[in-house]
Amino acid sequence: MHMSNLAIWGAPGTGKTSALIEKYLQKSGKKLIVTFSRSTADDIRKRLSDLNGEEVTKDEVNTIHGTCNCLLAEKKNVKLMKPNDYKRFENDTGNKLSKPTHDETEPSKSRGLVDCWGWMQNTGTPYKKITKFPGWKELKIPPSQARKVIKDFQQWKLDNDKINFTDMLVEVLRHQLIPDCDVLLVDEFQDLTALQFKIIKLWSENIDTVIIAGDPLQSIYGFWGGSPEYFKQFDSEQTVLDKSYRLPAAIWEYACGLANRYNMDIPKIDTTAQEGKIDHLNYKQYLAHKSFWKGNKNFKVFHLVRSNYQAARIAHEMAREGILWAGISGWTKQEIIVLNILIMAKHGIEKLVLSKSDILAMLDQFPVNYFSYGGSKKSIKAAIEEEQYRDDYGPLFVGDSLYKILESPNPVNYMSNPSDLKYEKFQAALEKYAEEVTWSEAEATVLTTIHGSKGLEADRVFLHTGISNKIKKEMRKDPAEEARVFYVGITRSKEELIVVKDKGKNFPLTRRQ
């Protein structure tokens, strides 16, 4: 055992990142923190900057991709692929290649051959098993042609000194590149892919001290090569954070019951003083309890689904109810601005006064020909940004026809390509609200996937147990993988957990685990 290495195991809400930051501050020498996600890296940099009183840079805290990119930049002159480079590749080779999603946290978002190749590298899947890619059916291309396009793409990048996100990892491992530091700290360790784990293992063999933090029970990226075994395989001493500042007793016991059912190791922790509350509803009962769907500034509510497509019907219900929400198909900041403009146009006593941000938001929601300035959206936006401060930008940019539309009984009809959902959102909200609303009101209610909620928490969680036929089939091979996903869903709740049994196939979350 490597005695100077340490693994910090923290259940949900135990403060894993805070513990890692504390270790960072305690250690001397040159230090580097590496994370799985950009948001966590940004959060740690901010927290350390606040503590130190000076800016902490990406040389000290970065994602694993960012760290690998820095190492490659020191070795050779290569540049990251840009969106127009994919078009250049198509023009040069005659191959069709959709741009990657760069999202390793949502299985349903992985699409295209670039994502397919990235999946193969991260999971260690050989070319002969290319059809195992989770999004293979959507590619609609013969395996032999897919292999040819991928190989052509690899050669094109080599000829043009270009790399993509997966190349950062592959090349660092191939050239055995090691960060110049005495202490390496790795957050979100349970999220690492097989390829990323190999890189961290390489680094740990060449760096004096390596400290990792994570929770193997929250390893839910198996579709991208993640595994709880990596945490167990890391050569180190282990410490367990024994206090959750999020989970009440009832919810932790419920989560433990699920983990026990699938023979998972569970840490012993103290919970919050709250008892916690767990209810079970079927989908019909869920629809009948819409008065409980909405959060507020002091009480956050999550609606969690297993897959993106399952959110559509909930989004329509929320829209028709006039609920403001964030997340899947939810309100954007720009839409909230436009909603407030329409509310003031409908209910305001004084003349409508429009700011810069108002005009910019409306440009994204209404056709450009309604604006008096003329030109394209891009040129109008540039003109707005260059314009000197004034109390009201409306007379300069908004035509008479748009003013009339804003004050009309049905302004949504005039928006740019309004979908049924957008129409429902705006119409119901305009009927419900007579005063301006805030973005924080929308943020209080979140509709997202369980994967999308990872690392977050809410006072009340509606956890939908509906699963697809594909997931049901995959559970026969590895039921524990799906159990970990629902463990994450359960442990988002600080106070109330409401398990919703959907129509069709469901993951078996019973009243008593």
Give me the residues paired with residue 211 across strands: 6, 185
| 393-to-334, 355, 373, 382, 385 alpha-carbon distances in Å | 17, 6, 11, 14, 11
- Asked if residue 321 is part of any domain, the answer here is no
CA proximity to 416, closest of 374, 363, 371, 454: 363
Q: With 90 as the cut, is the pLDDT of residue 179 above it?
A: yes
CA proximity to 95, closest of 146, 161, 140: 146
Domain boundary among the residues 437, 471, 487 is at 437
In the DSSP assignment, the letter for residue 296 is B
Query: How many domains, in total, are found in the chain?
Result: 4
Q: What is the pLDDT of residues 186-231, one digit of tens each?
A: 999 999 999 999 999 999 999 999 999 999 999 999 989 999 999 9
Percent of the chain with pLDDT over 70: 96
3-state secondary structure of 195: helix
Q: What is the pTM of this model?
A: 0.91
The answer to whether 361 and 344 are in contact (CB under 8 A) is no
- Asked if residue 144 is part of any domain, the answer here is yes
How would residue 323 be classed by pLDDT, with cut points 50, 70 and 90?
very high
Known binding positions? 10-17
3-state secondary structure of 61: strand
Sheet of 183-186, strand order:
61-63, 31-35, 183-186, 209-214, 6-10, 237-241
Domain boundary among the residues 388, 407, 437 is at 437
CA proximity to 433, closest of 444, 442, 422, 421: 442
Cβ of 100: how many Cβ atoms within 10 Å?
20
Backbone angles phi and psi of 125, in degrees to 5: -90, 130
Q: What is the pLDDT of residues 113-147, one digit of tens each?
A: 899 999 999 999 999 999 999 888 888 889 999 99
Query: 152 is written with which tokens?
Result: 């052509």
Q: What is the pLDDT of residues 365-418, one digit of tens each?
A: 999 988 987 788 899 899 998 888 888 999 889 888 899 999 998 999 999 988
Query: 440 is written with which tokens?
Result: 């924080």
Please give, one letter per residue, the 3-state secondary structure of 408-475. CCCHHHHCCCCCHHHHHHHHHHHHHCCCCCCHHHHHCEEEEECHHHCCCCEEEEEEECECCHHHHHHH
CA distance linking residue 457 with residue 181, whole number of Å: 34
The answer to whether 472 and 508 are in contact (CB under 8 A) is no
| 350 in the same domain as 410 | yes
- Asked if residue 54 is part of any domain, the answer here is yes
Domain boundary among the residues 188, 223, 241 is at 241
| 431 in the same domain as 343 | yes
Percent of the chain with pLDDT over 90: 80
DSSP assignment of 358-408 equals HHHHHHTTS-GGGBTT-S-HHHHHHHHHHSPP-S--HHHHB-HHHHHHHTS
Give me the mean pLDDT over the 274-294 stretch. Answer: 96
Q: How many residues does the chain have?
A: 513
- Asked if residue 29 is part of any domain, the answer here is yes
| 226 in the same domain as 119 | no
| 235 in the same domain as 262 | no
First vs last C-alpha separation in the chain = 36
- Asked if residue 512 is part of any domain, the answer here is no
Report the pLDDT value the prediction gives residue 112, as an integer from 0 to 100. 85
How would residue 498 be classed by pLDDT, with cut points 50, 70 and 90?
very high
Domain that holds residue 410: 333-419+426-437
The answer to whether 270 and 244 are in contact (CB under 8 A) is yes
| 386 in the same domain as 339 | yes
- Asked if residue 327 is part of any domain, the answer here is no
| 346 in the same domain as 431 | yes
Distance of CA 188 to the CA centre of its chain: 14
Q: With 70 as the cut, is the pLDDT of residue 513 above it?
A: no
- Asked if residue 311 is part of any domain, the answer here is no
The answer to whether 415 and 283 are in contact (CB under 8 A) is no
| 175 in the same domain as 45 | yes
Known binding positions for ATP? 10-17
Report the pLDDT value the prediction gives residue 69, as an integer from 0 to 100. 93
| 403 in the same domain as 489 | no
| 432 in the same domain as 358 | yes
Q: Which of 69-78, 164-173, 240-249, 337-346 has the lowest mean pLDDT?
A: 69-78
What are the start-end ranges of the H helices in 124-193? 136-139, 143-159, 165-174
| 65 in the same domain as 177 | yes
| 37-to-43, 123, 127, 191, 192 alpha-carbon distances in Å | 10, 18, 28, 9, 10
Q: Provide the CB-side half-sphere exposure for 340 (13 A, CA).
A: 20
| 431 in the same domain as 378 | yes
Q: Tell me, what CATH number does 195's domain have?
A: 3.40.50.300
Q: What is the pLDDT of residues 411-460, one digit of tens each?
A: 999 999 889 999 999 999 999 999 999 999 999 999 999 999 999 999 99
- Asked if residue 506 is part of any domain, the answer here is no
| 102 in the same domain as 11 | no
